[in-house]
Structure 1
Amino acid sequence: MLTSTRSTITFDKKNVDDRTLLKLYKNMLKPRLIEEKMLILLRQGKISKWFSGIGQEAISVGVTMALDNEEYILPMHRNLGVFTSRNIPLHRLFSQWQGKANGFTKGRDRSFHFGTQEYNIVGMISHLGPQLGVADGIALASLLKNKKQVTAVFTGEGGTSEGDFHEALNVASVWQLPVLFCVENNGYGLSTPTNEQYRCKDIADRGKGYGMESFILDGNNVIEVYSKIKKLAQSIRKRPRPILVEFKTFRMRGHEEASGTKYVPKALLQEWAKKDPLENFQAYLKDEKILTEKQVVAIKEGFVHEINENLQIAFDEAPIVADLTTELNDIYKPFEYKEVNPNSETEELRLIDAISQGLKQSMQQHKDLVIMGQDVAEYGGVFKITDGFVKEFGKERVRNTPICESAIVEAGMGLSIAGIKSVVEMQFADFVTSGFNPVVNYLAKSHYRWNQQADVVLRMPCGGGVAAGPFHSQTNEAWFTKTPGLKVVYPAFPYDAKGLLATAINDPNPVLFFEHKALYRSIRQDVPIDYYTIPFGKAALLKEGNDITIISYGAGIHWALETLVNNSDISADLIDLRTLQPLDTETIYNSVRKTGKVIVLQEDSLFGGIASDISALIMEHCFEDLDAPVKRVASLETPIPFINQLEDQYMAKGRFEDSLKELLAY
């Protein structure tokens, strides 16, 4: 505690009234007292981990009080003041940190890894960077709905080294999104000092490179933080644009308590201790006769009582009882499928035309549905699926994006948080690797973690047979069927593609919609003109026979059909899975029990593919019905090559017929 009433920070109250000054003080004091209590509980083993924000309270409190309660804030793990300033009941926070049911994640995530729509707060994930792009999406929704609101998102100086930071700033600048990018420069990323994190003088300098205003504020001066952010927020509401703000501050404790501060020079700690934002502000208020020592004691006593009372509520709450049904049911947001049947009028369409028509009709069904992707606007996408969409729906809803897959997937998540559906086109499914983290760690896990749906469809043009080489020809569905929380759709025919795409867009959960490029213009079918839907998890039985069951999807279905045409004596059930997650195991098991032999064909390489899981399921559930081992046929265990001689050798198609006959002869 500082003994002198002389402040080491220069405060200028300007036009801030005394009532607001007292509120700023109380809102800083409360998280400080909570933290001091949490550090005791940590040592007692009553909470598992703690990331201290002591010394940084002025930033969280100043920013939060400067914004309207309806405006979203995306904080990090040192921003307790955001949560308390938004008046979240303390017993719910304490339950969260103890893994109790009254928390926000049902014991599934810890610390500040949660969000709450009730208080317009969206918490972080451990990867830090993705929340910056999510803020872009929320801000985009504000623009589209003309809400005139600001979105504030926090990161640390270490987080500015991540690619997500640069992508998010670029997108926000290009689209002029109303985002406040708040960088808490507290000296260290865990133990790595700032001079090993970046070479520019100030992080705020980076704003110039993205064509946005930037400011440097004293993060320990709560009046400066509050006044400047309030002014910037008012300006952004009138003229939407992103602004980068760097707050100079310091982390007075370890990255988390276990890491300590031995790597920090003692003189540096002592210097910053003199700049304590709370103690300096308290001294200033006393000097200005706005606060008395008697008031300080009374305020502290009131907070201590509130903290202890709410802690007891959390302590008294029963531990979570693991329930298998609850866990499995919370992976996805419940979706009540509504079947829409078309009339009898049809037209012959290629696969690519059916997808385009289905996407257009979904844009008409959902008046705020947004399409995002590289070159999807005037150019119509590299495959021309969105050709003409800008003319009908406008550039607000059909949005060209910079080449930044990660930020755009995250923006889709942000739109979902703000209540808007989106379709994100990966120019090629291969490019999803540049946005892999937000797909598998943000979209997939958000509903399970804090009951927030990720209403995003990722369109995935994929597949070989077009001599496009290792980076434009992969069928990478197995990366995502492995990840709980994602749905994976892979149609082989125009009729299915149109109806399944409509369902994917209706579904509030994240869906990866695979479209085989080699089938785009080679497969034709009569397709209903009207809008219609097809349910997920229902395979199509294309042919019926008694000798063998053939299971496939995508291009593999057409390879199997060709083989059966060339071998009319083979009596086979041919199952087109259509959706890989959810998987129609009932149709698979019924067929296998009838035929006793099964071969699974996939275009992907063999090891770790969906065929392996299907084979394992059949062995576990239909073993006694089998007359032969389950056979898997897949492409070579190499990257997919470019030249046709090598690509033909790579593809599973050339090995399927021999494998089928070999199994029949077993």
Structure 2
Amino acid sequence: MKFERANLTDDVLLDLYKKILKPRLIEEKMLILIRQGKVSKWFSGIGQEAIAVGVTAALDQDEYVLPMHRNLGVFTSRNIPLHRLFSQWQGKASGFTKGRDRSFHFGTQQYKIIGMISHLGPQLGVADGIALANKLKKNGKVTAVFTGEGSTSEGDFHEALNIASVWELPVLFVIENNGYGLSTPTNEQYRCENLADKGIGYGMESHIVDGNNILEVYNLISNLKKSMETKPRPILLEFKTFRMRGHEEASGTKYVPQELMDEWAVKDPVENYRQFLKADKILTEEFDDKLRTEIKKEIDESLAIANAEPEIQASLSEELNDVYKPFEYKEVTPSQEKEKIRFVDAISNSLRESLERHNNLVIMGQDIAEYGGAFKITDGFVAQFGKQRVINTPICESAVVSAAMGLSINGHKAIVEMQFADFVSTGFNPIVNLLAKSHYRWLEKADVVVRMPCGGGTQAGPFHSQTNEAWFTKTPGLKVVYPAFPYDAKGLLNESINDPNPVLFFEHKQLYRSIYQEVPTNYYTLPLGKAALLKEGNDVTIIAFGAAVHWALETLDKKSSISADLLDLRTLQPLDTEAIYKSVKKTGRAIIYQEDSLFGGIASDISALIMEECFKYLDAPVKRVGSLDSPIPFTKALEEQYLPKGRFEKELLALLKY
């Protein structure tokens, strides 16, 4: 191994030695604790330290790094107090996740480190979002994101590289090619000779680097960083290295040929660098011994602090309160001046006024810029706000959602438009596992709104007509909004954008141009979690949302003798249970009307809640009315049969006669 010091001073060379030695000594301690049963799980980075340390040391302290399991050197190079790391690994309160997540699954804004989730790919898109925010701020900052050779097979990897290339984002994509994805060797993972070659397909600069040579890593990253400050661009880096321990300690390394282990053992990044420094008389044996003694003392003292810390005591209120970032609703009252507009216009007005109100708001989606979106909601926005804030995306929903999270992390608000709500399935993972869980896991907000044009009645078939709110009402950490009227749509969307928590905002396509209403011309807000009582009566409570609200109104207009409370939920999560219970206790009957297929829909949960909380007030069983338990079909006759509109009146009358 040949070390080129270039123009580095002795102080810099020694500082790099301190940085690479520290994670090695921590790891050696962890292996002892594993054998003693004092640590439950450990992902070893022994043999790979030069990459994490070299990359992190070359970056500024305020530049974000997104590491993975085997990147302890990122955390130690950012000088995180060791007792906090040890507390994190032991699930103690002084860690970063309050015992809610393990090992390196955490982030910290204080040290500009954003940890991974077990689904590896999304963090590459998060890096895109962080870099996009840096580019918008014109601050010259670089973002580095780590991944393994196994993750390069994931769709998120390719989506993230494509976005970064198209948008010319200053991201260092760091591939640690360590030979195995758990037990699967590289020859069973990909067929190209070098993973760096994948950069060619994205028009991206790439490099192959000796990942065990800390000076090669550090010098290359330092030079690239300097050039990226004046010429922002993504760069793909393949670091050739080897995993000297198992995927995690329990898996062992029996699947690795011994000759391969021996070959890489002589390339040890710590020992080789140590010998280089000694040969050049930069490191003395005395200083080395002193340094090791100091680090081991720090490790032991930090472990003692972590060990002395009491185990976390479960707190029900704290657990539930941390699911969402606390946010206090501040009403902005509407003006007296109104205009009669369509549902689609209300959405467009909200977006325009919110862009004017929030200078850090960015909208992303397919065809939303010059074209104005599939439903022309953002038509004219580019002329007013520019393409830096109204951004066309490639067709890659997963990476775009992840990028929205990155924007939020780096001080922006983000709106993602799904061209159709059906397409959210390809962005499902980052929504339910990244956006939804970030605040609960490490108290990081996800200031993201995902707009969801949805619903049937337009004969668009199985992939353009779903109303899939139940995919998300089940997931703690998400808010779900589903308005039925233009007035509500504008006020609720404004508030959804204000809210720092992730919001799925459903917009029924059939309502876009069929429903008109007098709507205030100025900016105003409505609170999330408050239902609207549209009609009052004594015989039955009708609970609905979205297009079903209008279908219920048609039925009540037709059957004027029915005395009903009609409750428009408007928000499905949080749910206005107080309004539901109040009405049901008054009428003694409840029917829940949804467009979604019946089984597993939110009507089922509402029915269960009513049965649990209002049973003694009921004069009849709670009734649910929804679409057939089949995909939504295309032709008119089949779609009409699928939708519940033709069945609601019969079920309502039967309930009243019970």
Counterpart code for 1:336: E
Q: What is the CA distance between 1:347 and its match in structure 2?
A: 0.3
Residue of structure 2 in register with 1:213 after alignment: 205
Q: What is the CA distance between 1:336 and its match in structure 2?
A: 1.0
Instruction: List aligned pairs for 1:369-518, cutoff 5 A.
Output: 369-518=361-510
- RMSD between aligned residues: 0.5
Q: Do the aligned partners of 2:331 and 2:527 also contact (CA within 8 Å) in 1?
A: yes
Measure, in 1, the Cα distance between the counterparts of 2:343 and 2:590: 28
Q: Deviations over 1:155-174 (max 9, x none)?
A: 00001000000000000000
Give the one of 596, 618, 631 matched to 1:626: 618
Residue of structure 2 in register with 1:13 after alignment: 5
Counterpart code for 1:491: P
Specify the SS of the correspondent of 2:239: strand
Measure, in 2, the Cα distance between the counterparts of 1:343 and 1:191: 64
Specify the SS of the correspondent of 2:593: strand
Measure, in 2, the Cα distance between the counterparts of 1:483 and 1:443: 10
Residue of structure 1 in register with 2:601 after alignment: 609
Residue of structure 2 in register with 1:353 after alignment: 345
Residue of structure 1 in register with 2:62 after alignment: 70
Residue of structure 2 in register with 1:303 after alignment: 295
Instruction: List aligned pairs for 1:243-392, cutoff 5 A.
Output: 243-392=235-384
Give the one of 131, 142, 147 matched to 2:139: 147
Range with bigger deviation, 647-656 or 39-48 = 39-48
Q: Deviations over 1:438-466 (max 9, x none)?
A: 00000000000001000000000000000
Specify the SS of the correspondent of 2:264: helix
Counterpart code for 2:214: V
Residue of structure 1 in register with 2:23 after alignment: 31
Counterpart code for 1:399: I
Q: What is the CA distance between 1:13 and its match in structure 2?
A: 1.0
Measure, in 2, the Cα distance between the counterparts of 1:368 and 1:164: 26
2:512 aligned with 1:520? yes
Specify the SS of the correspondent of 1:279: helix
Instruction: List aligned pairs for 1:167-206, cutoff 5 A.
Output: 167-206=159-198
Give the one of 72, 77, 87 matched to 2:79: 87
Q: What is the CA distance between 1:402 and its match in structure 2?
A: 0.2
Q: Deviations over 1:21-76 (max 9, x none)?
A: 11111111100000111111112222210000000000000000110001000000
Specify the SS of the correspondent of 1:441: helix
Specify the SS of the correspondent of 1:513: strand
Specify the SS of the correspondent of 2:524: coil
Q: Deviations over 1:195-249 (max 9, x none)?
A: 1111001000000100010000000000000000110011111110000000000
Give the one of 51, 63, 67 matched to 1:59: 51
Measure, in 1, the Cα distance between the counterparts of 2:115 and 2:394: 26
Measure, in 2, the Cα distance between the counterparts of 1:662 and 1:237: 70
Q: What is the CA distance between 1:12 and its match in structure 2?
A: 1.3
Counterpart code for 2:349: Q
Specify the SS of the correspondent of 2:326: coil
Measure, in 1, the Cα distance between the counterparts of 2:162 and 2:19: 34
Measure, in 2, the Cα distance between the counterparts of 1:168 and 1:436: 16
Q: What is the CA distance between 1:268 and its match in structure 2?
A: 0.2
Counterpart code for 1:475: T
Specify the SS of the correspondent of 1:103: coil
Q: Do the aligned partners of 2:414 and 2:449 also contact (CA within 8 Å) in 1?
A: yes
Residue of structure 2 in register with 1:164 after alignment: 156
Q: Deviations over 1:320-348 (max 9, x none)?
A: 00000000000000111110001111000
2:36 aligned with 1:44? yes
Specify the SS of the correspondent of 2:169: coil
Could you list the structure 1 runs, at least 4 aligned residues long, displaced by more than 2 angstroms after superposition.
Answer: none
Q: What is the CA distance between 1:18 and its match in structure 2?
A: 1.1
Counterpart code for 1:499: G
Q: What is the CA distance between 1:94 and its match in structure 2?
A: 0.2
Q: What is the CA distance between 1:536 and its match in structure 2?
A: 0.7
Measure, in 2, the Cα distance between the counterparts of 1:59 and 1:291: 21
Q: What is the CA distance between 1:569 and its match in structure 2?
A: 0.4
Q: Do the aligned partners of 2:360 and 2:411 also contact (CA within 8 Å) in 1?
A: no
2:602 aligned with 1:576? no
Measure, in 2, the Cα distance between the counterparts of 1:36 and 1:58: 16
Give the one of 642, 649, 654 matched to 1:650: 642
Q: What is the CA distance between 1:11 and its match in structure 2?
A: 1.0
> Structure 2 unaligned runs (5+)?
none
Specify the SS of the correspondent of 2:110: helix
Q: Deviations over 1:246-280 (max 9, x none)?
A: 00000000000000000000000000000000001
Measure, in 2, the Cα distance between the counterparts of 1:102 and 1:50: 19
Counterpart code for 2:441: R
Counterpart code for 2:406: G
The alignment-based identity, stated in percent, is 74
Give the one of 548, 568, 593 matched to 1:556: 548
Residue of structure 1 in register with 2:219 after alignment: 227
Q: What is the CA distance between 1:487 and its match in structure 2?
A: 0.1
Give the one of 80, 95, 98 matched to 1:106: 98
Q: What is the CA distance between 1:16 and its match in structure 2?
A: 1.4
**TM-score normalised by the chain length of structure 1:** 0.99
Measure, in 1, the Cα distance between the counterparts of 2:509 and 2:570: 16
Measure, in 1, the Cα distance between the counterparts of 2:83 and 2:498: 37
Q: Deviations over 1:610-652 (max 9, x none)?
A: 0000000000000000000000000000000000000000001
> Structure 1 unaligned runs (5+)?
1-8
Measure, in 1, the Cα distance between the counterparts of 2:147 and 2:277: 30
Measure, in 2, the Cα distance between the counterparts of 1:41 and 1:634: 56
Residue of structure 2 in register with 1:534 after alignment: 526
Measure, in 1, the Cα distance between the counterparts of 2:222 and 2:249: 33
Residue of structure 2 in register with 1:4 after alignment: none
**TM-score normalised by the chain length of structure 2:** 1.00
Residue of structure 2 in register with 1:636 after alignment: 628
Q: Do the aligned partners of 2:421 and 2:467 also contact (CA within 8 Å) in 1?
A: yes
Counterpart code for 1:91: H
Specify the SS of the correspondent of 1:474: coil
Specify the SS of the correspondent of 2:355: helix
Measure, in 2, the Cα distance between the counterparts of 1:442 and 1:628: 42
